[in-house]
Amino acid sequence: MSLLRDALELLLAGEFICPFSHPDLHRAMRAPGMAEEISAALAPLGRTLGTLGEEDTPDTYFAQYADLHHPRDRAAATAQLVIVRDQLKPCLEFIRLFSQAGRSDACLAPGETISFADLLDAIERHVTYRDQLRDLSGHEFFSKSKSGKDNKDRLSLVLKALCEAGYLARRNSESANYVATGKMGYVYKLLAWLAEYHQLSALPAESEDAGASAQGGLAL
């Protein structure tokens, strides 16, 4: 199977290709002509190749709709935005827990490592963090399959769900540590866009479980 097909299948499935989630493909897409070839293949499907980072050396690639004039494309784009929106509250609450327990003042940027052992140790030594993890693991996004029976189990479920959703990736198959992917950078860009343009009015009503969160003065 060619790298071109691999990239197209991932992009059309809504995946984000970055050095941490798909290092080989990301490296291939930076090769001369590869991004242009992918863009040409996406065009008949009404998509274009979106990027994050420097224009000449993108950190992240993803597929986006070329425009929203076609009703089917507009409906599909809205559905994708709703999925991301409903993941924002649990995702932002995890970032808050990681920043506090990990003694980090910065957001969880793409490429930043999450040490399972260090984060678990900080959580187990502070009741506030234990409470935050318990509440966090109660979100439907994290508890679709089962509920954690202790802090270690709860943290494992949270990290696994974020990994399956594409926000994190394992350092390697043998490691318990994770790294933030380019999709996390996309979330920050999306939040900035929503805060600037306040276009949530076009979205369907949010599910009761998703709750509400504020970022930059914008209620989600």
Task: Determine contact, residues 162/141, Cβ cutoff 8 Å.
Answer: no
pLDDT of residue 125: 93
CATH class label, 71-200: mainly alpha
pLDDT of residue 175: 82
Over the chain (220 residues), what is each successive 10-residue block's mean pLDDT? Answer: 89 95 95 94 94 92 89 85 85 92 76 94 94 90 72 93 94 87 91 68 44 32
Task: Determine contact, residues 83/206, Cβ cutoff 8 Å.
Answer: no
Task: Determine contact, residues 114/178, Cβ cutoff 8 Å.
Answer: yes
Across the chain, the runs of DSSP E, i.e. the strands, are 47-53, 58-65, 113-114, 168-170, 178-180, 214-215, 218-219
pLDDT of residue 147: 64
Cα–Cα distance, 30 to 7 (Å, whole number)? 12
Cα–Cα distance, 27 to 37 (Å, whole number)? 15
Name every residue whose Cβ is closer than 8 Å to that of residue 87 and which is 6 or more positions away in sequence.
141, 165
Cα–Cα distance, 108 to 181 (Å, whole number)? 10
Name the DSSP letter for residue 134.
Answer: H
In tens, the pLDDT along 18-49 reads 999 999 999 999 999 999 999 999 999 999 99
Task: Determine contact, residues 119/102, Cβ cutoff 8 Å.
Answer: yes
Instruction: Compute CA 186 distance to the chain's CA centroid, rounded to the nearest angstrom.
Output: 7
Q: Nearest CA to 60 among 110, 2, 6?
A: 110
Task: Determine contact, residues 157/148, Cβ cutoff 8 Å.
Answer: yes
pLDDT of residue 196: 73
In tens, the pLDDT along 130-144 reads 999 999 988 888 876
pLDDT of residue 2: 87
pLDDT of residue 163: 95
pTM for this entry: 0.82
Cα–Cα distance, 129 to 74 (Å, whole number)? 40
Task: Kindly state the greatest CA–CA separation across the chain.
Answer: 55
Cα–Cα distance, 3 to 131 (Å, whole number)? 45
Long-range contact set of residues 210-217: C-beta below 8 Å, sequence gap at least 24: 210/85, 210/86, 210/89, 211/89, 212/89, 213/88, 213/89, 213/92, 213/93, 215/88, 215/92, 215/191, 216/191, 216/192
b/e 100-118 (16+ beta carbons within 10 angstroms → b): bbbeeeebbebebebebee
Q: Domain boundaries in the chain?
A: 3-65, 71-200
pLDDT of residue 191: 80
